[in-house]
């Protein structure tokens, strides 16, 4: 197989590899979109579970505090009765201290209950906002999952077809040339470059004159001294047109 035939095969192989790279990026992007939406939804689900449990605990604690306040109200009434029935200063002072302690405890419980009430309201608002965000993402996921799944299926089918095409093209390239191509492709992505006027059109570095002359003769493949891509010579358009007239 001539050098020119090998160049045609390598260019076709490079085009297929570029298309495979595009498809891989498309697949990764669309899978990433789905994965991110599902991850956000899981995070919100977990947050709702935690926040609802916290709100339930606050409501329970506030209920217990209010029960204590009601109980203390009853105890305060009894202390007032005891104070009114005091027969001497000693009994009066004891009843007064008990009454003051109960009132203080009642105020403390009421303050705690008020703080919990404020926290509960804030928690309920947060839960409502989280539920709204959860619904928005769930709706977005429901709307996009089907479309993205179809797009992924189509991209996978196209990718499989390109892999088959690549296999056929690779089999048509000489083994040594293919090995060199694969080595460069793994490092550079695009493994082949051309020159028209003595400059590598991939890295735009000027080639040594002797190398350019050798490429113009078309005797063998060479590699660019700067980017290491497989390099070949392509005559300028006017020369190609003149050769075909």
Same domain, 214 and 117: no
Among candidate residues 171, 187, 218, the one where a domain is terminated: 171
Mean of per-residue pLDDT scores for the chain:
90
Predicted local distance difference test score (pLDDT) of residue 115: 95
Q: How confident is the model at residue 142 (pLDDT cuts 50, 70, 90)?
A: confident
Q: What is the 3-state secondary structure (H, E, C) of the chain?
A: CCHHHHHHHHHHHHHHHHHHHHHHHHHHHHHHHHHHHHHHHHHHHHHHHHHHHHHHHHHHHHHHHHHHHHHHHHHHHHHHHHHHCCCCHHHHHHHHHHHHHHHHHHHHHHHHHHHHHHHHHHHHHHHHHHHHHHHHHHHHHHHHHHHHHHHHHHHHHHHHHHHHHHHHHHHHCCHHHHHHHHHHHHHHCCCEEEECCCEECCCCCECCHHHHHHHHHCCCCEECCCCCCEEEECCCHHHHHHHHC
Among candidate residues 171, 197, 214, the one where a domain is terminated: 171
Is 14 within the bounds of a domain? Answer: no
Residue scoring higher pLDDT (45 or 235): 45
Predicted local distance difference test score (pLDDT) of residue 1: 64
pLDDT tens, residue by residue, 164-176 = 999 999 998 889 8
Q: Is the pLDDT of residue 206 over 70?
A: yes
Q: How confident is the model at residue 244 (pLDDT cuts 50, 70, 90)?
A: very low
Q: Is the pLDDT of residue 241 over 70?
A: no
Same domain, 93 and 162: yes
Do the Cβ atoms of 99 and 79 come closer than 8 Å? yes
Same domain, 26 and 55: yes
Predicted local distance difference test score (pLDDT) of residue 63: 94
Q: What is the CATH number of the domain that holds 49?
A: 1.10.287.1490
Q: In the chain, how many domains are there? A: 2
Is 98 within the bounds of a domain? Answer: yes
Is 12 within the bounds of a domain? Answer: no
Same domain, 143 and 200: no
Predicted local distance difference test score (pLDDT) of residue 219: 77
Same domain, 156 and 201: no
Mean pLDDT calculated for residue range 157-162: 93
Is 6 within the bounds of a domain? Answer: no
Is 231 within the bounds of a domain? Answer: yes
Mean pLDDT calculated for residue range 193-212: 94
Predicted local distance difference test score (pLDDT) of residue 86: 86
235: containing domain: 176-244
Quote the pTM value.
0.64
Mean pLDDT calculated for residue range 198-218: 92
Q: Is the pLDDT of residue 62 over 60?
A: yes
Mean pLDDT calculated for residue range 147-175: 91
Same domain, 29 and 129: yes
Among candidate residues 171, 186, 218, the one where a domain is terminated: 171
pLDDT tens, residue by residue, 27-54 = 999 899 889 999 999 999 999 999 999 9
């Amino acid at each position: 197989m001539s050098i020119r035939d090998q160049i045609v095969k390598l260019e076709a192989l490079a085009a297929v590899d570029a298309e495979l790279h595009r498809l891989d990026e498309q697949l990764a992007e669309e899978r990433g979109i789905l994965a991110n939406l599902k991850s956000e939804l899981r995070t919100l689900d977990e947050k709702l579970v935690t926040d609802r449990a916290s709100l339930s605990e606050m409501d329970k604690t506030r209920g217990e505090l209010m029960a204590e306040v009601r109980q203390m109200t009853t105890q305060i009434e009894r202390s007032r009765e005891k104070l009114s029935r005091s027969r001497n200063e000693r009994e009066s002072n004891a009843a007064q201290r008990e009454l003051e302690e109960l009132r203080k405890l009642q105020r403390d419980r009421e303050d705690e209950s008020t703080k919990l009430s404020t926290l509960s309201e804030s928690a309920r608002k947060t839960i409502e906002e989280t539920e709204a965000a959860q619904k928005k993402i769930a709706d977005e996921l429901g709307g996009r999952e089907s479309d993205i799944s179809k797009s992924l299926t189509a991209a996978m089918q196209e990718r499989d077809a390109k892999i088959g095409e690549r296999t056929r093209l690779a089999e048509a390239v000489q083994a040594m040339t293919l090995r060199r191509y694969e080595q460069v492709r793994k490092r550079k992505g695009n493994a082949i470059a051309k020159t028209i006027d003595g400059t590598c059109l991939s890295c735009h570095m000027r080639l040594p004159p002797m190398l350019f002359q050798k490429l113009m003769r078309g005797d063998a493949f060479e590699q660019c001294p700067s980017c290491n891509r497989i390099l070949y010579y392509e005559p300028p358009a006017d020369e190609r047109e003149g050769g075909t007239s």
